[in-house]
A and B are shown apart, each in its own frame.
Chain A
Amino acid sequence: EPEVTQTPSHQVTQMGQEVILRCVPISNHLYFYWYRQILGQKVEFLVSFYNNEISEKSEIFDDQFSVERPDGSNFTLKIRSTKLEDSAMYFCASSTGTGNYEQYFGPGTRLTVT
């Protein structure tokens, strides 16, 4: 069964460093998403991406964040200068369409900023 994959599973970085989180969405999916979950809190939407551009972003997704689909399979989230409060689980998700279409989540990357 196709699934979303994410690498790395755990990333430890120092405050101020840049990190890139990688995702491979399900192959026939066209819509891609990043969510994050701070320990003990809700899953929060960060950004959605379709047709090589951002379709929606949340208030969390400020200038420190960027997304890219560098090739036909990968979807990346970059945090330019990490802060302690960026420590969270980051989940990539994908779907075949918008509207009444399910989103499938990857296993997540645990980002720890020290």
Chain B
Amino acid sequence: QKEVEQNSGPLSVPEGAIASLNCTYSDRGSQSFFWYRQYSGKSPELIMFIYSNGDKEDGRFTAQLNKASQYVSLLIRDSQPSDSATYLCAVKAGKLIFGQGTTLQVKP
């Protein structure tokens, strides 16, 4: 059974701080990793994807992948209250396998 694990949180950070979200996965052969943001009652919105070991930056977001340790992380710099949402880690195995999601609260 392929699993994706996330700490459900909530993770609370002050406005302007860096939020760090982590995810581990069980299938060592996984190649593609995605971060989705989901506001309450809404659908998952793709914010980042990463395929290679190392860091990938897009604006305030940085995805980090370490295949040897089987973890993926998402850093959000200069966190804003509008970033408050649940962040879903997903691993591609044809289909997407999602983690439970981490709820992020950014406090003004």
Q: Which residues of A contact B (CB under 8 A)?
A: 33, 35, 41-45, 48, 55-56, 58, 89, 91, 93, 98-100, 102-108
Contacts and interface: CB of A to CB of B under 8 A. Distances in A.
Interface of B: 31-32, 34, 36, 42-46, 49, 51, 88, 90, 92, 94-101
A45 B46 contact: no
A91 B44 contact: yes
A103 B46 CA distance: 8
A42 B100 contact: yes
Nearest to A92: B43
Contact of B95 (A41, A56, A99, A107): A56
Contacts of A58: 95
Contacts of B31: 99-100
A98 B94 contact: yes
B44 A102 contact: no
7 contacts: A42-B101, A43-B96, A48-B95, A58-B95, A99-B32, A105-B43, A105-B44
A45 B94 CA distance: 10
Contacts, number: 53
A48 B32 CA distance: 17
B32 A42 contact: no
B44 to A, nearest CB: 5
Given A43-B44, A99-B32, A108-B43, A35 B96 contact: yes
Contacts of A45: 95-97
Contacts of B97: 45
Given A43-B90, A103-B34, A108-B42, 19 more contacts: A33-B96, A41-B100, A42-B99, A42-B101, A45-B95, A45-B97, A55-B94, A56-B94, A56-B95, A58-B95, A89-B43, A99-B92, A100-B51, A102-B34, A102-B46, A105-B44, A106-B43, A107-B43, A108-B43
A27 B83 CA distance: 30
